[in-house]
Structure 1
């Protein structure tokens, strides 16, 4: 790493940070920060305008710095080494990291966080959240250190917990790919207009409703009517068992409807006698109905528009991902393609209520998917190079390159070695078998020539033209007998071209072998 001559917290230090990708920004870039979204970080890096630190945040920062300074001697005593604060950039000079402490041999770095019970539990368990380990991965990448000591404390040994963190190769690869994708997004970033938090506004407030009613009912038997009606209703039979019961029930239904109609007419008659009250109730009912209708209409519109916006955000992200994958496939040359890269835009939008939070969640998921696609593409390119370099002359053995390039590098090399070895072994066996067949053919030909007979053809090979040897009648009868021997069973007679039977030919040969001249 290249250590810069900067003091942390100074204006020069803040100015230098704006030109690099920093360790404290790594969690936000990976979409895992507790305090800042990836979209916010893009905007800050693009505009150069950082979020203003509130008084409450500054109080916590100051408290954390005080605890760090207080606990430093205790950590140095445990490490048996001095820790000096430093700010450095990576060899490629795109990433910057500020270290709370670095050992003199630069093999170990130290990061301190203000004590919290939850963080202390994680440290004791040796299981940090992504919000913390992405910062450590970035610091280890920049420093080249072997390990990081992560501490949470309130500045006293009684509330001080530390753990050792070593870089995880998969995380480091993801971090590098993440910053590469972030740089691409930053280059094409177009800041959106500042949007204030939306505050709902209802239509103009209606004037207060003022109602004064004077008057009274001058004559009514409503109390007696009510009591009698209730008694009658209670006495209606609802246990239907017989035909009479059903007939009575049907009659009662009609009677109840007539009662409802008579009561409604009585109510309308009473209201009509007080025109002002009648107008009052009608106006109230009309206003209430219009309010209800508008409410239902707006509820439907709001729900439909929210669904539409969600679909637009999701489809835009999906199109961007498709375009990114197409560009990678073109760069791979067409022989192989990326495998499907899973995305979960719908899941990212769950429990998000505002448009800005929806877009931020989907953009973060999109960035994650692009980073994964870039990593897979890098693996494919490396494996393609391996196939080109190590399979020359054996290309036909690797027609399944689409599957092979997705393997880990060591696994691919093992497959290449095994296939070529198996092929060579099979080829050696084939050559040995071919040589053996030729030797057999030559031996048989030599044997046949020594006896004056034509060499026997080897199956699978075209026999070379040979001059037909001349045999005596006796010799041909013997030869014909031998040819027919496979078909001779239980003394079956076989007549050859000489006119002799097989038994005769064999018997004569046994008794007078010299006479055969064979």
Structure 2
């Protein structure tokens, strides 16, 4: 807040108000003021001329208002235990153009005082704790500019007996509305063109048609002036009657002309009655009267329809222009909002001008309704932009969770954020649970794998130990480097391997049941063929279809023979011996 050293009511203070948007003007800017229209405020700001008041208004209302305000201030100070000082301030310190002329402000700037002259209707409302809508913008802008925590709104005539007050608290919604309203006002001010100054519309006097006279003498002679009346009537219809009204002046004149023609109809009817009262049958005069009556009536009806249709057309044109301007404004805002759609209803412009008769008053109300509609949709657009920016910053990776973002955008910003954060947290927890379950599955699989490998390793070691023990039991006279012999199959085998007692055939008493495939499963990864086993001295004892069958008791001897064969092969290819050779 920036405080300006100005005396309220001075010329410097008046100049300051013209260059700033004052709190007392906020209601007019929003079209809520009962004293100043929005169009009048635009004109004042554009021309730099303040509203003029008569000497009586200046003395009996404005000056008197300052007097009772000064009388009421110490009364409120006594009630609240606070001291108030008149202050003129603005928000120039933050680059703004809003101002407030406070009737009183505390030294800590936390409480403001606003005074209004005693008015029974207003006082009753304040006593009930209800601040009328046309006073709320001023109080809210005072708090917006000063940062005060409350406004003591007081109505009095300067006496303790006629003094009522209420506490008005700040409203963020009103702050947003006021800021958006002044922004729209500034845009309208740039495009403002002062209307052509026209004198007050007063219908031009319409010369009444000549009075209709019908007299009948005792000789049944008719004295009438229908010819004079007809000439004047036709001149009026051809030269005076407005057939294409354009302005408020034309509409007012045409309305008066219709009334004149209706009066002429009534005069003709009266003439007929007068004539018939004197004589029962005067056909020629009656026919002429009927003709003239029809001529007047037809043109009157035509003029009435023209007046109504033209008013309706002009009204419809202005309503349609306002609707088009609003639609274009919304379309412009929508272009800057990607991913959300502005939700709006077309303002009821027809209701805004209901009951108004002049084109000027209609246009003022339409302009105000359009401005307020723009203010409201601007606030909605700013709200959507804020929410989209928050989503881009905080939930860009979770847009899949926001399929209903359009519906969510209708929520207040805090609720909007809470819903999205809750969804994201729930998704993260679900994903973490899924990942933990996956990690647990992998841990179980690894444990099972290690268990299997340990079992396989134990089996392998057991087989090695069994084979080593079998070799240890062999006679010591096996030559270290036995000479291989060629078998009928063409393979080379150590001579002793073929005649070693462990591989020599042993009579079997059991039925052969051990399949070659089972032997290979036990010896895996070593794989033997039937011919290979035969080379080791073990011929299959039987067959089961294509399967070769061996005695189960031969398996340990097969292992021993295989170990001998491996050791013999190692000795045959010992690198040291090969080097020595």
Give the alignment's TM-score, normalised by structure 1: 0.73
When the two structures are superposed, what TM-score results if normalisation uses the length of structure 2? 0.65
User: 1:280 Cα shift?
Assistant: 3.1
SS at match of 2:103: strand
Match of 1:191 among 186, 191, 194: 194
The yes-or-no answer on 1:16 pairing with 2:16 is: yes
What's the counterpart of residue 96 of structure 1?
Answer: 99
Deviates more, 1:94-103 or 1:438-447: 438-447
Distance 2:148 2:285 in 1: 83
| d(CA) in 2 for partners of 1:131, 1:213 | 68
Query: Is 1:4 matched up with 2:13?
Result: no
1:403 is aligned to 2:404: no
Matched-pair contact (CA < 8 Å) for 1:111–1:148? yes
Aligned to 1:64: 65
1:427-446 correspondence to structure 2 within 5 Å: 427-439=431-443, 441=445
Say whether 1:164 aligns with 2:211. Answer: no
Give the C-alpha shift of residue 450 in structure 1. 7.8
What residue in structure 1 maps to residue 137 of structure 2? 134
Q: Does 1:310 align with 2:315?
A: yes
Q: Which residue number corresponds to residue 53 of structure 2?
A: 53
Deviation at 1:276?
11
Kept after mapping to 2: 8 A contact 1:76/1:82: yes
In the alignment, the residues of structure 1 paired with residue 185 and residue 53 of structure 2 have an alpha-carbon distance, to the nearest angstrom, of: 24
Higher relative contact order (CA 8 A, sep 6+): 1
Q: Secondary structure at the match of 2:151?
A: strand
1:117 aligns with 2:164: no
Q: 1:17-38 CA distances to partner (integer Å, 9 max, x unpaired)? A: 1111111111111111011111
Contact 1:103 1:109 in 2 (8 A): yes
- Alpha-carbon displacement from aligned partner over 1:372-425 (angstroms, at most 9, x marks no partner): 111111111211121111124333333443334443221222122222222222
In the TM superposition, what is the alpha-carbon distance from 1:62 to its structure 2 partner? 2.2
Counterpart of 1:382 (choices 347, 368, 386) is: 386
What is the CA deviation profile of residues 470-495 of structure 1, one whole-angstrom value per residue up to 9, with x for unaligned ones?
337999xxxxxxxxxxxxxxxxxxxx
Instruction: Give a deviation string over 1:196-229, Cα, whole Å, max 9, x none.
Output: 34333465421222332212689xxxxxxxxxxx
The Cα shift of 1:163 comes to 1.1
- Once residues 298 and 412 of structure 1 are traced to their aligned partners in structure 2, the CA distance between those partners, rounded to angstroms, is 60
Instruction: Pick closer, same or farther for the CA change 1:348–1:324 going to 2, 3 Å.
Output: same
Residue 79 (structure 1) aligns with: 80
Q: Distance in 1 between matches of 2:154 and 2:300?
A: 56
Paired residue secondary structure (1:157): coil
2:31–2:368: 8 Å Cα contact kept in structure 1? yes
Contact 1:383 1:409 in 2 (8 A): yes
- 8 Å CA contact retained: 2:104, 2:114: yes
The runs of 5 or more residues in structure 1 that have no matched partner are 219-269, 453-468, 476-497, 500-512
Q: CA deviation at 1:161?
A: 0.8
CA–CA distance in structure 2, aligned partners of residues 435 and 130 of structure 1: 64
Q: Which runs of 5+ in 2 are unaligned?
A: 222-274, 457-515, 523-543, 546-551, 557-581
2:418 aligned with 1:414, yes or no? Answer: yes
Aligned-partner Cα distance in 1 for 2:320–2:312:
12
The 1:412/1:516 distance shift into structure 2, 3 A limit, reads: farther
Residue 514 to residue 297, structure 1, CA distance change in 2 (3 Å): farther
Question: Over residues 349-375 of structure 1, what are the superposed CA-to-partner deviations in whole Å (9 max), with x where a residue is unaligned?
Answer: 222222122112221111111111111
CA contact (8 A) 1:87 1:97 kept: yes
Match of 1:234 in 2: none
Sort the Cα spacing of 1:287 and 1:394 in 2 relative to 1 into closer, same or farther, 3 A: same
Q: CA RMSD in A?
A: 3.2
- Counterpart contact for 1:341–1:369, Cα < 8 Å: no
CA contact (8 A) 1:148 1:165 kept: yes
Q: Counterpart of 1:470?
A: 517
Displacement after TM superposition at 1:159 (Å) = 0.6
Question: Quick check: 1:283 aligned with 2:291?
Answer: no
Look up the SS of the partner of 1:340 in the other structure.
coil
Contact 2:323 2:346 in 1 (8 A): no
The equivalent of 1:153 in structure 2 is 156
Which of the numbers 297, 305, 309 marks the counterpart of 2:302?
297
1:122-169 per-residue CA deviation (whole Å, 9 max, x = no partner) reads 111111111111111111112111111111111111111111111122
CA shift in 2, pair 1:474/1:432, >3 Å:
closer
How many Å apart are 1:60 and its aligned residue? Answer: 1.5
Alignment of 1:192-211 (within 5 A): 192-201=195-204, 203-211=206-214
State the structure with more CA Rg.
2
Distance 1:446 1:3 in 2: 81
3-state SS in 1 of match to 2:7: coil
Task: Measure how far apart 1:5 and its partner are.
Answer: 1.5
Between the two proteins, the alignment pairs up a number of residues equal to 413
Q: What does residue 460 of structure 1 align with?
A: none
Kept in 2, the 8 Å contact 1:474–1:516? The answer is no
